[in-house]
Amino acid sequence: MRILHTMLRTGNLPRAIDFYTQVLGMRLLRQKDYPDGKFTLAFLGYGEESEHSVIELTYNWDVDRYELGNAYGHIAIEVEDVYAAVERIKTLGGKILREAGPMNAGTTLIAFVEDPDGYPIELIGARQVAGGC
């Protein structure tokens, strides 16, 4: 078994695709309209779906925003350099929720950014594994 994708609803599909591709560096892997259901699905990721988990953006044609609720947490993305990633996202107009720095009560470097629909995304510094394990 493996995780295939995480689905997020978006109120503006072009804006969301632009954020995930231009700001976070993902690729649009596939997109399809479902006229009978009045929705569009777009799948984005850093690699092919056969090998990687991806993000599924769902755009319901008659809805332009959603209430996020209080049960949802966040998406986490590993980055080589958290500080550099935050600076790049800032220059591209991304919203920073938490600046880069050590996590609370730990040493792992993290930051939080927000996508155009308000979903939080955690950036986590790449882990250095001793001994090649």
pLDDT tens sequence across 26-42: 999 999 999 999 999 99
Which amino acid is present at 69?
G
- Looking at the fold, whether 9 and 51 belong to one and the same domain comes out as yes
- Looking at the fold, whether 116 and 80 belong to one and the same domain comes out as yes
122 is a catalytic site residue: yes
Domain count within the chain: 2
Report the CATH number at residue 13: 3.10.180.10
- Looking at the fold, whether 79 and 56 belong to one and the same domain comes out as no
Question: Where in the sequence is the domain holding 9, given as residue range(s)?
Answer: 5-60
What values do phi and psi take at 88, rounded to 5?
-65, -45
- Looking at the fold, whether 85 and 51 belong to one and the same domain comes out as no
- pTM for this prediction: 0.84
- For the chain, the average pLDDT equals 92
pLDDT tens sequence across 79-105: 999 999 999 999 999 999 999 999 988
Return the exposure string of 4-35: e unless at least 16 CB atoms fall within 10 Å of the residue's CB, then b.
ebeebbbeebeebbebbeebbebeebeeeeee
Q: Is residue 67 part of a domain?
A: no
Q: Which of 106, 105, 108 is nearest to 122 (CA)?
A: 108
